[in-house]
């Protein structure tokens, strides 16, 4: 059972628990106070039976079956989504493009009244490559949502965020660009600024997961005989598999953090133990020095008393020599560590 559960069990039965810092103080050799066990609360049994918790039924099998069914459905997709039935996020891209066109036309009409007005070029309609990218993106997003993912955000430039399990993946579906010697024909897309300048379109799309998952970069590029529809089952399966892999990585990082904290705690306790041992040894040596000094002082006082038998002395600061000897022996007694308990010889004073 967990520590919290054990604490609640003790509280219900009136069993006192160690206060905060109890075990640390005890490990450093400090004095701890143990609370006595109070009388049994009324209505409570003096026998406590601790049974393991019943594990909750796992739904992993049902989730796996649902994902397999979704992947089988994705494998049967042979055509891209129609432009009239796009995913809501992609449909918003089409609306955004039309709104940008309308705004540009309005700006051009307003600037005609200005003598020195600058005329922006009108925004063209979506090209064949734009429509293909929109349809391919819609098909991928619908397939991923069928498999259990959720679209968090999607931008017209081709970037979109997916929530798979407890993690958000940054993905992208863009035109695969290539270098060329000829001038770039910017008419291939209605939004050429969304792609790298100075490069030519290859006529194929590139699908990538930009979030680091481990084990290499996840990326798929269309070919003449491998279009998005053909790659769709592999893309869906790989992206949905990122959730468990990220869970494992997160669990491993958490385990590493716990191991690091445990190592730091062990090092701290070892440092405290060494400091306590050093203070204990220093204290013991100081007691030996005090004892040796007491021996010298006692011998010195004995010599003074022998001298007092043959030499008379007047009062010293209002006290006789015998009174001063008694005062000195009292001080020596207080200084002598052998007049204290044995545990005081090894118990150092508080660090603070």
In b/e form, how buried is each residue of 30-49, taking b as 16+ CB within 10 angstroms? eeeeeeeeeeeeeeeeeeee
Smallest CA-to-CA distance from 81 within 221, 229, 219 is with: 229
End-to-end CA separation in angstroms for the chain: 38
Q: Report d(CA 338, CA 332) in Å as an integer.
A: 11
Residue 221 located in a structural domain: yes
Give the domain-ending residue among 220, 240, 260: 240
Q: Assess whether 329 and 204 both reside in one domain.
A: no
Residue 257 located in a structural domain: no
Half-sphere exposure of 335 (CA within 13 A, CB side): 18
Q: Assess whether 202 and 273 both reside in one domain.
A: no
Q: Assess whether 217 and 178 both reside in one domain.
A: yes
Chain-centroid distance of CA 171 in Å reads: 23
Residue 335 located in a structural domain: yes
Calculate the alpha carbon distances from 123 to 92, 114, 120, 194 in Å: 17, 21, 9, 13
Q: Assess whether 109 and 199 both reside in one domain.
A: yes
pLDDT 10s digits, 160-211: 999 998 999 999 999 999 998 888 888 899 888 888 888 999 999 999 999 9
Q: Assess whether 107 and 229 both reside in one domain.
A: yes
Q: Report d(CA 247, CA 255) in Å as an integer.
A: 12
Smallest CA-to-CA distance from 194 within 208, 220, 173 is with: 173
Residue 262 located in a structural domain: no
Residue 195 located in a structural domain: yes
**Which residues contact residue 90 at a Cβ distance below 8 angstroms, ignoring those fewer than 6 apart?**
134, 135, 137, 138, 141, 154
Q: Assess whether 46 and 107 both reside in one domain.
A: no
Q: Assess whether 103 and 186 both reside in one domain.
A: yes
The predicted structure's pLDDT at residue 113: 58
Q: Assess whether 168 and 118 both reside in one domain.
A: yes
Note if the pTM is more than 0.75. Answer: no
The predicted structure's pLDDT at residue 66: 66
The predicted structure's pLDDT at residue 48: 86
The predicted structure's pLDDT at residue 116: 59
Residue 57 located in a structural domain: no
The predicted structure's pLDDT at residue 126: 93
Q: Assess whether 89 and 47 both reside in one domain.
A: no
Domain span at 139: 70-240
Smallest CA-to-CA distance from 202 within 179, 178, 183, 173 is with: 178
Strand partners, 167: 164
Q: Assess whether 218 and 155 both reside in one domain.
A: yes
Smallest CA-to-CA distance from 123 within 99, 96, 104, 95 is with: 104
How many domains is the chain partitioned into structurally? Answer: 3
The predicted structure's pLDDT at residue 346: 85
Instruction: Output the furthest CA–CA distance in the chain (Å, rounded).
Output: 130
Strand partners, 161: 153, 170
The predicted structure's pLDDT at residue 352: 59
Q: Report d(CA 230, CA 222) in Å as an integer.
A: 9
Contact 141, 160 (CB under 8 A): yes
The predicted structure's pLDDT at residue 65: 63
Residue 41 located in a structural domain: yes
Ranges of the chain with pLDDT below 50: none
Q: Assess whether 212 and 302 both reside in one domain.
A: no
- Phi-psi category of residue 158: left, alpha or beta, with phi > 0 → left and psi -120 to 50 → alpha: left
Residue 312 located in a structural domain: yes
The predicted structure's pLDDT at residue 47: 87
Q: Assess whether 95 and 235 both reside in one domain.
A: yes
């Amino acid at each position: 059972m967990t520590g919290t559960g054990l604490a609640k069990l003790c509280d219900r039965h009136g069993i006192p628990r160690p206060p905060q810092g109890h075990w640390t103080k005890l490990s450093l050799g400090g004095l701890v106070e143990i609370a006595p066990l109070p009388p049994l609360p009324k209505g409570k049994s003096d026998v406590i039976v601790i049974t393991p918790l019943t594990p909750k039924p796992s739904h992993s099998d049902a989730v796996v079956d649902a994902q397999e069914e979704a992947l089988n459905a994705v494998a049967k997709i042979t055509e891209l989504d129609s432009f009239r039935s796009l995913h809501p996020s992609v449909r918003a891209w089409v609306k955004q493009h039309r709104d940008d066109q309308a705004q540009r036309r309005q700006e051009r009409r307003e600037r005609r009244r200005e003598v020195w007005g600058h005329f922006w070029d009108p925004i063209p309609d979506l090209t064949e490559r734009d429509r293909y990218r929109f349809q391919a993106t819609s098909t991928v997003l619908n397939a991923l949502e069928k498999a259990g993912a959720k679209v968090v955000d999607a931008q017209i430039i081709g970037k979109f965020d997916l929530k798979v399990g407890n993690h958000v993946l940054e993905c992208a579906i863009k035109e695969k660009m290539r270098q060329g010697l000829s001038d770039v024909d910017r008419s291939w897309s209605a939004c050429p600024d969304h792609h790298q300048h100075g490069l030519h379109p290859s006529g194929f799309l590139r699908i990538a997961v930009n979030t680091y998952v481990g084990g290499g970069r996840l990326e798929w590029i269309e070919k003449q005989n491998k279009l998005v529809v053909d790659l769709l089952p592999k893309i869906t399966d790989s992206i949905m598999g990122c959730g468990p892999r990220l869970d494992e990585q997160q669990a491993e990082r958490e385990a590493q953090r716990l191991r690091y904290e445990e190592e730091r705690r062990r090092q701290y306790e070892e440092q405290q133990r060494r400091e306590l041992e050093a203070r204990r040894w220093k204290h013991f040596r100081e007691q030996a020095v005090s004892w040796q000094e007491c021996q010298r002082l006692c011998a010195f006082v004995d010599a003074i008393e022998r001298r007092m038998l043959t030499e008379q002395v007047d009062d010293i600061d209002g006290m006789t020599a015998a009174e001063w000897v008694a005062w000195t022996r009292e001080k020596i007694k207080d200084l002598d560590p052998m007049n204290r308990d044995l545990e005081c010889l090894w118990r150092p004073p508080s660090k603070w």
